[in-house]
Each structure stands twice: as C-alpha cells, then as structure tokens.
Amino acid sequence: MKTAHTQRIQYFLFSQYLADGFRITITIVLPVILFAQFGMMAYGLTIALGCLCASIADIPGPIVSKRNGMLYCIGFVFTMSLLTGLVNDHSILLGILIVLATFFFSIIAVFGNRAASVGTAALLVMILRMSDKSTPQVALTDSLLIVAGAVWYLLIALLFNRLSPYRSAQRALGNCIHETAKFLQIKSELYDINTDLETAYRKLVTQQIIVSESQDAARELLFKNKEILKEPSRIARLLVVTFADSVDLYEQVMATWYDYKLLREKYGATGLLEDVSVIIKRIAGELDNIGLAIQSNNSFTKQYNLISELNTLKLKIDALDDNNSKLVLKKILVNLRNLGNHADELMNYFSLTISAKGRLRSRSDYSKFVSHMEIDSTVLKNNLTLRSGIFRHAVRMTITCLAGYIVSKTIPYGHHSYWILLTIIIILKPGFSLTKERNIERFAGTMAGGLLGLVLLHFIHDRNLLFGLIIFFMLGTYTFMRLNYIVMVIFTTPYVLILFNLLGLGFLKVAEERLLDTGIACVLSLLAGYLLFPHWESLQIESYMKEVLKANIRYMKKLSGFLMGQTISTLEYKLARKEVYVSTANLSAAFNRMLSEPKTKQRNGKLIYEFLVLNHVLSSNIASLSADMLQKKQKLYPKENILQVKRALGCLDESLQQMDKSFTSEIENPMIHVHSNEQSDKNLSNQLDFIYKVTQDIQKVTKYIAT
C-alpha cells in the first residue's frame, strides 16, 4: 500500500512541472555547450537568454495559444533587446525606456495570463541587457542571437508536442483527479469526531480553490484544443469524457452536505461516523491511484472493494433501534454508493472497449465552458483608468522600477545592480497580500540558497562537478518556476553563484550584491504595494460576493425549472454549476488574500467567512436535488414545493439588492398558478425548507456586511 508521501513523490515525478523543467533545461544548456566547444561561450549564453525568455511565455494551454504567445514574445523580446542595446549608454534615455516599457508590458496583462507572461519576458530581456554597453552593430547581433534562442525554444516545444500531443492533457487530468481526491480526503474529516469542524471547513475552502484551478487548467487543454475536438482519436475521446466524469464526481462530493455538528451529537457514540470517514478516505485513495495512473500514462487495476464495506455499514445501520434516526444515515449510505459509482466511471478510461458515443458534445458547446480573450484595443482603452486594478498595478510597477533604477545609479556598489529591477518585476504583484508573500519568499529563498551556494563553492572546486551542479540547480529552478516560488529561489541563487564563479567572477562579491539588491527591491516593492494605489481585498471582496449570489440565483433557477416541469438541458445545468464553483473559488481566494493583509485593512472577516460557508452549503444542497431530478423523468411538482424555492430565490434576490443597488430583480411572481396531482414529498419539502433557511441566513449576513 502506497503512503501519502510516496504518492506525492510519484505525482511530482510524472508532473508537467518536472517535464517542463527537463525540456527548458536541455533547451537552454545545449547552445551553451555547443558554442563553448568552439570558444564562443558568450554567443551561447546570449542564445540561452532567448530560450529563457521564450520559456516564460510558454505557460500551459493549447498548443496554438502557446505558439502564438511565443511568437508575440519573440517580437517583443527582439524589440526590447535592440532598443536597450541602443540606449543603455545614455542614462536618461534608458530611464525613459524603462518607464515606457514597464507601463506597457504591465498593462497588457488585461489580455490574460499569457499576455502578462509575454510582458514579463520582454521586461526581463530589457533588464538583463541594461549593463551591456555596445555599439549599434553589436546590439543588433546580440538581439538576433536572442531571437535565434527564442526560435530554437519554440521549435523544441512544438516538436515535443508533436511527439506526445496528449501528454499535457493527461497530466492535467491526472492532477485534477488528484486534487479532487484531496478535497474528498478533507471532507472525510467532517465525519471524524476527533477533528475540529472549523479547521476542516477552512481546509475545504482552501482546497476548493485548488480544485477549481486544476479544472480550469484541464478545460483549457481539452476544450480549446482543436486537435482533440475536431476529429477526436480514441485517447482524445477518453480524455474529454473522463474529465466530464471527474467534474460530475466533484459535484457528487459537493452535493453531500449535512449538519455535521448535529450528526456528531446524534451518532458520535455509535462509531458509525468513523466507519463513514474511513470509507470516504479509501475512496479518495482509490481516486488518487486513478489520477496517478492517468498522469503517468500507466494501466490501473481496481484495489478497493467498496461494496463489501457498504454492506457491513448497512448492517450496522439496520441494527440501530430508532427507525426515524436511520434516515440520514441511509442517505449517507446512498451517497457513498453513488460516489463509488462515479469513481468506477473514471476507471472506464483504462478500458479498451469504452464508447464515448453520445457523450461527446460539439466544439461550440465545449467552448462555452472556457473563457476567450480577444486582443482588442478597446479592452486596453477601457482599462486606462484608476478604477482598473491592472492600470493601478501598471502605474505602481512603473514608479517602483524607476525608483529602483535611480537607486542603482545613485549608489553604484557593483556590476549587477539590474538585479534590483529584476526582483521588482517578479515580486511586485497587483495585490498587497501577494506582494508581501513574494517578498518573504524571495528574501528567505535568497538567504537559504545563498548559504547553500557558498558552502558548495567552499568545498567543491572541480569545474566539471560544478557544471553538473549548475544543470541540477537549473532543473530545480525551471521545475519549480510555476509550482513553488520559494523553492525556485532556493535553486536559483546557488545556480547564479556557481555560474558567476565559473565565469571567473568572485562569488563572495556576487553573493553580497545579490543579497543587497534583493533587500532593496523587497523594501521598494513592499512600500509600493502599501502606499501606491493599494489594492486592498476588503474593498474588492464585495464584487466577488455579488458574483457568488448571482451564480447561486441562476443555479437555483435551474432547480426551480425542474420543479415546474421545464426541460433543462444537461449543458445548461452544467454551465450553471461551473459558474457557482468558479465564483465560490474566486471568493475563497480573495478571502484568503485578505487575511494576509494588515489587520487595519481587514473588514468583516468573520461575516465574510460565514457568508462563504453558507453559500457553500446552499450550492451543495441545490446540487444534491438538481442532480437527482436531472436523472428522473420530467414532471410537474406540487405548488407547495415550487413556492418554497421561489421564497428562497426571493431571499437571495434581496441579498443581492442589498449589495448592488443597481441590480434589478428577474424573479417571477411567486404566486403562480400551478396545477399538479403530485402529492408533496416530505423529504423533498424538508430539503427545500432547509435551503430556504440557509438563504435567510445569507440574507441576514449580507445585511450586516452591506451596512
């Protein structure tokens, strides 16, 4: 039986992060080694810089988007390299270039993360070329060499994709299932009487953000990939269908929500809740194994027999004396069986005879599940205002970089003062909380990595061994580049120190400069984040709350439609479901960021957390009822049930109006004429009544927050 630690190691070894780390390292090192053989290492290093810039723009996504992003990157990198080479001998002109370039390449983040990465690459090449004094001819030659390196990286990236077109999607899908399994593992703690409920809730909220991000990453790779959707091969069909099944499984996990405090009070002494917790953990372990098999492109054999454990649990439930008290336990038993069925559906991925016929949608349907960002100048113009967070960040970045440049010119204490600007563009983020986090990670990572590098250089003097260490630290740097920033810095610092040592520069002096530059940049970034057009989450968080309310209103309207006998397509339902999960994850992320800001800038922390949990409970109960009705034959439910949902919608509607005075209600008059021969189901009425009470609680919390 694999331990959790072993499982994490295996996931890492087969992750996209490590695969990218190897590819980037090889692509950068090869030109250096090749040109070094001919005594032209300087050319090799310049080409390697182009590779590095292209790798920054090579963020995960469909191959067409990656290719276009890197082509834009090549054009901007060439332009900035040439301009910097032409003006870097003139301090004032270089200062003007820094101001204009920093603002432009920061504001283009309005076009999405890929555009932001392209901007970072362009600023990187500008900063690294600042200290190279050269003639126009040399500047042009070096710029062409940098372009050659970027093109070389692009060709290698396209080649790897051609050789294994589905590996990125497999890794993304495997990781998505892995994060869902972790969410389920945390959910099992709610049934453990020895676990603190508040702690478990907070862990769930944090993990929900990660699950949402992993699902978005998989959607990008699957639903924007023309090769997968146009004429899907067998593996492409399997990937798409299995991803849909994984999202359905996640909904099943989300849809199982109870009053866990009451559950513990009623059944804590029976030992049944511990049994439920163990079963859920074992299902989560099976899911984790499935995700690893998909990510590593290996076969899978079922290892856990859920049915026997459910039968044992059923016997224990039947043995209870009070029949009325068994209802919720029997419902938990049914949910566990459904969860197991969803897990079994994921195993169809490994079947040689699986048929996805009837389960695949059209490209236009899939495109509705992903966002599309067009390069439109109108978007840029609309953001040229202080109301735009990206515009404020661009101004903040520009002022801070200019200040860093002035400091580097005022106090000429070394040859690598460009590290100040380099650190600023990496750690200064739109929100203060992220800037603060990056500051701490950068400084701590530099200290730890610097100490490691100095120790290695003190004891190791063999150049071949040092070169091997450089490759190792490069691999660590590019592997953790998008995975863990502090670990990346720990790898990067000894990599830089050893490299400068091999180039004949004093590593002690370099270490001193790097630490000082990092300290100056951290101070400037932190001050800028706090003083220059600060972005406080407490002032922005209400917009996320509004989106959650709007999403839950639309989601509940689907439930209302089911009750009224309307035909609700699976596509409509899943789009509404996705909107709820994404908006809730966005609010959770904003809430976590707010908690890391200064206490004086935080507002209504406990109320916002209560709002978050209540909406989580609400969406879980809506999902539970809707998913069940989606599988049943369409029918008209009793008027009593429809009015219950309408009242709940009214509460959400009033909550939204309290937060958004411009919001206009779209809810119909609840006193509708409904004629149905259906008898009201007591369990359904109880569930709808619970939903109504939750919406009333949301309304109360919203009222306190809005006043």
User: What's the rounded Cα separation, in Å, for the pair 471 and 479?
Assistant: 12
The tens digit of pLDDT for each residue in 76-95 reads 999 999 999 999 888 899 99
Whether 526 maps to a domain, the answer reads yes
Question: What's the residue count for the chain?
Answer: 707
Helices then strands (H, E): number in the chain? 28, 0
Whether 436 and 356 map to the same domain: the answer is no
User: Model confidence over 322-352: pLDDT tens digits?
Assistant: 655 677 888 888 889 989 998 988 988 887 5
pLDDT given for residue 701 in this prediction: 93
The pLDDT of residue 368: 63
Q: What is the pLDDT of residues 103-123, one digit of tens each?
A: 999 999 999 889 999 999 999
How many C-beta neighbours within 10 Å does residue 138 have?
12
pLDDT reported for residue 160 = 92
pLDDT tier at 637 (50, 70, 90 boundaries)? confident
**Alpha-carbon gap, residue 645 to 652, rounded angstroms:** 11
Question: 195, 188, 304: which is closest to 256 by C-alpha?
Answer: 188
Q: With H, G, I as helix, E, B as strand and everything else as coil, classify residue 579.
A: helix
Euclidean distance between CA atoms 239 and 601, whole angstroms: 45
Same domain membership, residue 623 and residue 478: no
**DSSP line for 325-391:** GGHHHHHHHHHHHHHHHHHHHHGGGG-SS---TTT---HHHHHTTS------HHHHHHT-STTSHHH
Q: How confident is the model at residue 229 (pLDDT cuts 50, 70, 90)?
A: low
Least confident residue range of 216-230, 458-472, 526-540: 216-230
What is the pTM for the complete model shown? 0.87
Helix (H/G/I), strand (E/B), else coil: 403? helix
Overall average pLDDT of the 472-496 stretch: 93
Q: Is residue 691 located within the same domain as residue 544? A: yes
For range 438-464, the mean pLDDT? 91
Considering the domain boundaries, does residue 393 fall inside one?
Answer: yes
What's the farthest any 2 CA atoms get from each other in the chain? 92
At 670 the pLDDT is: 47
Condensed to tens digits (0 to 9), the pLDDT of residues 55-84 reads 999 988 888 889 999 999 999 999 999 999
State the Cα–Cα distance between residues 139 and 315, nearest whole angstrom.
80
Is the pLDDT confidence value at 163 over 70?
yes
pLDDT single digits (tens) 440-450? 999 899 999 99
Q: How confident is the model at residue 485 (pLDDT cuts 50, 70, 90)?
A: very high
Q: Which residues of 384-417 are buried (b: 16+ CB within 10 A; e: fewer)?
A: eeeeebbbbbbbbbbbbbbbbbebbeeeeeeebb
Residue 347, domain CATH: 1.20.58
* Residue 113 falls inside a structural domain: no
Reduced to 3 states (helix: H, G, I; strand: E, B; else coil), residue 507 is: helix
Residue 174 confidence (pLDDT) above 90 = yes
Residue 186 exposed, middle or buried by CB count within 10 Å (0-12, 13-18, 19+): buried
Q: How many structural domains does the chain have?
A: 3
Task: Look at residue 155 and tell me whether its pLDDT is greater than 70.
Answer: yes
What pLDDT sits at residue 159? 94
The token duo for 6 is 């072993």
Q: Are residues 335 and 470 in the same domain?
A: no
Among 476, 510, 532, where does a domain finish?
A: 532
CA distances from 266 to 169, 279, 323 (A): 45, 20, 13
**pLDDT per position as a tens digit, 600-611:** 888 888 899 999
Element (H, E) at 14: none
532 backbone dihedrals φ, ψ, rounded to 5°: -95, 105
475 and 395, same structural domain? Answer: yes
pLDDT, residue 400, reads 96
Domain boundary among 508, 532, 556: 532
d(CA 282, CA 185) in angstroms, rounded, equals 9
Residue 147 falls inside a structural domain = no
Instruction: Give the C-alpha separation, 563 to 597, whole Å.
Output: 44
Mean pLDDT calculated for residue range 557-570: 85
257 domain-assigned:
yes
Q: What is the pLDDT of residue 119?
A: 95
Is there a domain that residue 118 lies in? no
From 90-99, 593-602, 627-636, the region with the lowest mean pLDDT: 627-636
Extract the tokens encoding 672.
Answer: 């509708």
Share of residues in the chain with pLDDT > 90 (%): 42
User: How would residue 240 be classed by pLDDT, with cut points 50, 70 and 90?
Assistant: confident
Q: Identify the domain containing residue 195 by its residue range.
A: 164-367
154 in a structural domain: no
- Pairwise pLDDT comparison (405 vs 567), residue with the higher score: 405
Evaluate if residue 314 carries a pLDDT over 50. Answer: yes
55-59, 349-353, 538-542, 546-550: least confident range = 349-353
Q: How far apart are CA 345 and CA 251, in angstroms?
A: 14
576 in Cβ contact with 558 (< 8 Å):
yes
Residues 416 and 343 in one domain: no
Which one-letter amino acid corresponds to residue 623? Answer: A
pLDDT of residue 664 exceeding 90, the answer is no
Q: Mean pLDDT over residues 555-584, rounded?
A: 87
Same domain, 246 and 314: yes
Q: What is the mean pLDDT of residues 357-361?
A: 53
Predicted pLDDT at 265: 87
Q: Please indicate, yes or no, whether residues 456 and 510 belong to a single structural domain of this protein.
A: yes
- Give the integer Cα–Cα distance in Å for 52 and 147: 11
What share of the chain has pLDDT > 70, as a percent? 91
Residue tagged 């972790």 (tokens) = 182
Check pLDDT > 90 for residue 269.
Answer: no
Contact 432, 479 (CB under 8 A): no
Question: Quick one: pLDDT at residue 177?
Answer: 95
Q: What is the pLDDT of residue 230?
A: 65
Confirm whether 638 is domain-assigned: yes
Q: Please tell me whether residues 335 and 259 are part of one structural domain.
A: yes
Report the Cα–Cα distance between both ends of the chain, in Å, rounded.
54
Residue 395 reports pLDDT greater than 80: yes
- Does position 51 have pLDDT exceeding 90, yes or no? yes
516 with 661, same domain: the answer is no
Q: Which residue type, as a one-letter code, is found at position 526?
A: L
pLDDT band at 364 (very low <50, low <70, confident <90, very high): low
| pLDDT mean across residues, the chain | 86
What pLDDT sits at residue 421? 92
pLDDT at 671: 45
For residue 599, what is the DSSP state? G
Axis crossing angle, helix 197-223 with helix 167-188, rounded to the nearest 10: 160
CA angle centred on 163, ends 161 and 169, rounded to 5° = 50
Q: Which pLDDT band holds residue 633 (cuts at 50, 70, 90)?
A: confident
Q: Nearest CA to 678 among 630, 642, 626? A: 642
Counting other chains too, the contacts that 476-483 makes at CB distance below 8 Å and 24 or more residues apart are 476/21, 477/21, 478/20, 478/21, 478/24, 478/25, 478/55, 479/17, 479/18, 479/20, 479/21, 479/22, 480/17, 480/21, 481/20, 481/21, 482/17, 482/20, 482/59, 482/60, 483/15, 483/17
d(CA 700, CA 161) in angstroms, rounded, equals 53
CB 693, CB 648: distance < 8 Å: no
519, 567: one domain: no
Same-domain check for residues 609 and 484: no
CB within 8 Å of 112: residues ≥ 6 apart:
373
pLDDT at residue 176 in the model: 95
Residues 6 or more apart whose Cβ sits within 8 Å of residue 700: none
Q: How confident is the model at residue 43 (pLDDT cuts 50, 70, 90)?
A: very high
* Among 486, 513, 532, residue at a domain's last position: 532
Structure tokens at 276: 């439920």
Exposed, middle or buried: residue 199 (CB in 10 Å: 0-12, 13-18, 19+)?
Answer: exposed
Whether residue 627 is predicted with pLDDT greater than 80 in this model: the reply is: no
Handedness of CA 117, 121, 127, 128 (dihedral sign): positive
